């Protein structure tokens, strides 16, 4: 059973504001002092979970439960449960999970949800120049490509045409068709670093080089406009090959011109699409396409579709790179409200690895600011240069820093040296074929800061400290209760038998029916069963079943034998307790045979589950009496009375 189901003092997060006297001691158990703040916090946490008002406890009533809980936890600590490896590992696992929200830029994620929604309300048209960069590119190659784009940016700012340079230098395969123009898009339709840079660049300007998983980009923002939502349309299309002749192009247009006239005269669009459209996938559905936004179609198609202002309106015949089209607008829907999209946006951000990386970097930057991070640039440059040479010559395992104690960076009250970075670096270099020293250093800094933050969460965040303590106490409570109560009750056979004999009158059967419950499909099968009972009144169920298997009319016969309580079976209830006739009752073919049995005590086996539960309760009561004698308890009655009056 999960610990949180058994742990009365639940671990749901909550806050409770207290006035003066938060640190006053409300109860002591031996030398363990418990503050008013802890007691009130747990009291409110548990009363908030009480769905039934009758279960609500006053502070005085709750104090007894609270003391029982604390006694069990303190006893578990006295017996060393908190030192067992299984306990330590389990608590650490829970702590790691609890720590995750504190080790990410949660507030920044909330900010990004709002930013993403703002971007979904704005469509942006950009052109780009892409220079490919491999993930394992050397620092020299990376720097060379970055500087090459800086030079191109300089030329553009001095008047060179972006399209001309894109055609000449861009390594995006689509540049031949679009001259670098990527059309319109909004949030989540481009890789995140590209999207982020595009929205942060003003119209008419060119960004600095932007790194994505593909390489480095220069981004020119051509236009920003309000998002136009989504459209559902149908179309009729005549495909054209890239090498189509002028005659073929003209013939296809004439065919669509003719179809457009038919449509304007009232012809059925779906029927003409089915007969004439070359887009067979949509033709089979009357030409209907899936919902799309401005970025979801070729620019020529999207612009013509969004130019239609009314449902059922037809476009002129238009040309795209794929052929000629007639478009019919079916339905339009605007960008949904923030409330409608909030959960969707959070999930998109949560599951986007590039956004997660961005959040992680932002979190580390926040920590650097908070802890006044400073690094020794000359020392770092000298070390990374020496490390790169050792790495290139396959001598990293033999490398020793010229100054092992040289401080690379400082933060909070910490100093991190060259030797510590080398200790971190060597096993990574041994596992990876290619490693970039600057990237490894940045990872080392991030990991060092994150570990420091993790180690100080209890000090920094009281709510986290309380939550971990509640898990600590809950696991101890579960483990010692398992040994002292649940396992003890399950394995103490002699004790359970003695408890059964002492409480035998507590577990009684009501009046029951003992006998046969029989459904026959035919009169012949009933006559056969009656004849069997006539010859062998004490026949057993298995024997009767065997006889029925050999009887030609046994198919469909239902026979049961045993004890039946009132309300257990409609057929038995009808014959024995005069209940209403069952819905499927067949007169003369359904019957029972047996007698009522007066109330009697349940055997230990019949009521074992109930006996074990009550025996566990008895063991717990006896154990608590022992603990209350063993530990000295002192309640601050004045403070408790003041809580009663609140």
The residue ranges of every structural domain in the chain are 1-78+462-500+613-646, 122-226, 230-333, 372-457, 508-601
88-97: average pLDDT:
94
- Lowest-confidence pick of 273-282, 425-434, 455-464: 425-434
* 323-333, strands of its sheet edge to edge: 230-239, 323-333, 318-320
Highest mean pLDDT among 22-31, 90-99, 110-119: 90-99
pLDDT band (50, 70, 90) for residue 295: confident
Please tell me the distance from the alpha carbon of residue 392 to that of residue 277, in angstroms, as a whole number: 61
State residue 384's pLDDT score.
86
Assigned fold of 230-333: Chitinase A; domain 3 (3.10.50)
Given a cut of 60, whether residue 118 has pLDDT beyond it is yes
Q: What is the pLDDT of residue 6?
A: 33
Question: How remote is the C-alpha of 398 from its chain's centroid?
Answer: 45
| Cα dist from 271 to 89, 235, 256, 318, 375, whole Å | 68, 12, 14, 20, 72
User: One fold for both 122-226 and 230-333?
Assistant: yes
Residue 2 has what pLDDT? 35
pLDDT at 407 over 50: yes
Average pLDDT score over residue span 503-524: 89
Q: DSSP letters along 96-107, please?
A: HHHHGGGGS-HH
Residue range 343-348: average pLDDT? 88
Instruction: State residue 351's pLDDT score.
Output: 81
Q: How far apart are CA 485 and CA 602, in angstroms?
A: 24
pLDDT greater than 90 at residue 451: yes
257-260's contacts with Cβ under 8 Å and 24+ in sequence apart are 257/317, 259/326, 260/314, 260/316, 260/317, 260/326
When pLDDT is averaged across residues 460-487 and rounded to a whole number, the result is 93
Is residue 18 scored above 70 in pLDDT? no
Helix or strand run (H / E) with residue 476: helix 462-481
- Output the pLDDT for position 50: 55
Looking at the structure, give the CATH architecture of the domain made up of residues 122-226.
Roll (3.10)
User: Which residues, 6+ apart, have CB-to-CB distance to 426 below 8 Å?
Assistant: 396, 397
CA distances from 139 to 146, 388, 439, 604 (A): 10, 10, 10, 78
pLDDT single digits (tens) 177-227: 889 999 889 998 899 899 999 999 999 999 999 998 899 999 999 999 999
DSSP E strand boundaries for 80-121: none
How much of the chain, in percent, has pLDDT values that exceed 90?
Answer: 59
Q: What pLDDT does 109 receive? A: 72
Report the chain's mean pLDDT, rounded to a whole number: 87
């Amino acid at each position: 059973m999960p610990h949180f189901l058994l742990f009365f003092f639940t671990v749901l997060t909550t806050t409770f504001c207290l006035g003066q006297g938060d640190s006053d001691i409300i109860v002591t158990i031996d030398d363990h002092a418990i503050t008013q703040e802890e007691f009130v916090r747990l009291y409110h946490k548990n009363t908030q979970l009480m769905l039934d008002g009758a279960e609500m406890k006053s502070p005085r009533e709750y104090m007894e439960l609270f003391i029982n809980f604390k006694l069990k936890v303190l006893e578990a600590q006295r017996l060393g449960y908190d030192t067992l490896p299984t306990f330590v590992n389990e608590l650490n696992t829970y702590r790691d999970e609890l720590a995750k929200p504190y080790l990410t830029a949660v507030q920044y994620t909330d900010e990004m949800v709002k930013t993403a929604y703002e971007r979904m309300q704005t469509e942006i048209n950009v052109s780009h120049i892409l220079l490919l960069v491999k993930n394992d590119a050397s620092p020299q190659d990376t720097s060379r490509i970055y500087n090459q784009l800086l030079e191109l940016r300089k030329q553009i700012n001095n008047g060179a045409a972006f399209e001309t340079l894109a055609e000449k230098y861009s390594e995006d395969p689509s540049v031949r068709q679009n001259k670098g123009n990527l059309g319109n898009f909004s949030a989540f339709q481009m890789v995140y670093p590209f999207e982020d840079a595009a929205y942060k660049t003003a119209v008419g300007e060119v960004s600095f080089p932007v790194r994505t998983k593909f390489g480095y980009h220069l981004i020119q923002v051509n236009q920003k406009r309000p998002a136009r939502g989504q459209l559902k349309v149908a179309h009729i299309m005549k495909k054209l090959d890239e090498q189509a002749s002028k005659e073929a192009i003209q013939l296809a247009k004439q065919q669509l011109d003719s179809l457009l006239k038919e449509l304007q005269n009232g012809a059925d669009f779906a029927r003409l699409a089915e007969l004439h459209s070359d887009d067979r996938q949509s033709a089979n559905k009357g030409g209907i396409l899936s919902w799309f936004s401005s970025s979801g179609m070729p620019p020529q198609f999207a612009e013509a579709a969004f130019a239609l202002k009314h449902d059922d309106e037809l476009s002129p015949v238009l040309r795209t790179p794929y052929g000629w089209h007639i478009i019919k607008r079916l339905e339009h829907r605007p960008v949904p409200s923030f409330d409608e999209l909030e959960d969707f946006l959070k999930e998109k951000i949560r599951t986007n690895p590039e956004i997660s990386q961005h959040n992680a970097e932002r979190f580390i930057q926040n920590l650097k600011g908070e802890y006044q991070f400073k690094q020794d640039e000359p020392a770092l440059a000298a070390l990374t240069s020496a490390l790169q040479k050792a790495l290139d010559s396959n001598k990293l395992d033999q490398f020793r820093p010229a100054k092992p104690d040289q401080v690379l960076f400082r933060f909070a009250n910490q100093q991190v040296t060259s030797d510590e970075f080398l200790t971190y670096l060597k096993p990574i270099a041994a596992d990876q074929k290619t490693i970039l020293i600057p990237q490894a250093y940045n990872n080392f800094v991030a990991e060092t800061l994150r570990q420091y933050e993790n180690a100080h969460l209890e000090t920094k965040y009281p709510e986290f400290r309380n939550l971990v303590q509640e898990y600590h106490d809950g696991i101890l409570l579960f483990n010692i209760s398992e040994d002292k109560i649940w396992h003890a009750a399950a394995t103490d056979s002699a004790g359970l038998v003695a408890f059964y004999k002492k409480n035998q009158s507590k577990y009684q059967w009501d009046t029951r029916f003992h006998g046969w419950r029989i459904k026959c499909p035919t009169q012949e099968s009933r006559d056969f069963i009656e004849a069997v009972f006539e010859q062998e009144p004490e026949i057993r169920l298995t024997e009767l079943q065997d006889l029925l298997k050999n009887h030609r009319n046994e198919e469909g016969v239902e026979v049961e034998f045993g004890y039946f309580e009132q309300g257990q079976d409609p057929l038995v209830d009808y014959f024995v307790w005069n209940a209403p006739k069952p819905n499927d009752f067949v007169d003369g073919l359904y019957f029972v045979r047996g007698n009522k049995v007066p109330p009697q005590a349940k055997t230990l086996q019949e009521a074992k589950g109930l006996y074990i539960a009550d025996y566990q309760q008895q063991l717990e009561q006896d154990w608590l009496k022992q603990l209350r004698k063993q530990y000295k308890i002192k309640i601050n009655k004045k403070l408790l009375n003041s809580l009663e009056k609140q």
